[in-house]
Amino acid sequence: MFGKVKVILHRPLPDGFKIKTASVTKTTDGYYITFSLEDKTVPEIKPDINPDKITGIDVGLKEFLTTSSGETVAIPQHYRKAQKHGNPEASFTTKQRKQPQAKSS
């Protein structure tokens, strides 16, 4: 893509590393290149997960949540219950819109 490019390395590439990708960035004072290196001596991480014990949870609008087994939980109605029981704090939680003032001449 670029062909040969003159590069000033501020530190040498370590022995045994392979360049995976290179990103070229243009700034006001010139171009910069960033290398992504691969090291074969680093072991691959294999998660210790039992796929039979994985649980999926879907949070939604109609139901509060639905598990992967199909169990649903209703949406908690704490605010609505407080309004029904006459909790004075519940009535002040929403802001009332101010009506626009009529211009007087």
- Of 50, 51, 68, nearest in space to 59 by CA: 68
How far is Cα 41 from Cα 80, in angstroms, rounded to an integer? 59
So what's the pLDDT on residue 89? 59
Amino acid identity at 21 = T
Predicted confidence at residue 28, as pLDDT, reads 93
Of all residues in the chain, the percent with pLDDT exceeding 70 is 73
Confidence of residue 21 (pLDDT cuts 50, 70, 90): very high
Q: What CA–CA distance (Å, rounded) separates 17 from 69? A: 46
pLDDT in tens, 55-93: 777 777 778 888 777 888 887 776 667 767 765 555 555
* Dist CA 55 CA 62 (whole Å): 20
Task: Name the band, by pLDDT with cuts 50, 70 and 90, for residue 103.
Answer: low
Question: In the prediction, which pLDDT does 41 show?
Answer: 85
Whose structure tokens read 């219950």? 81
pLDDT of 36 = 92
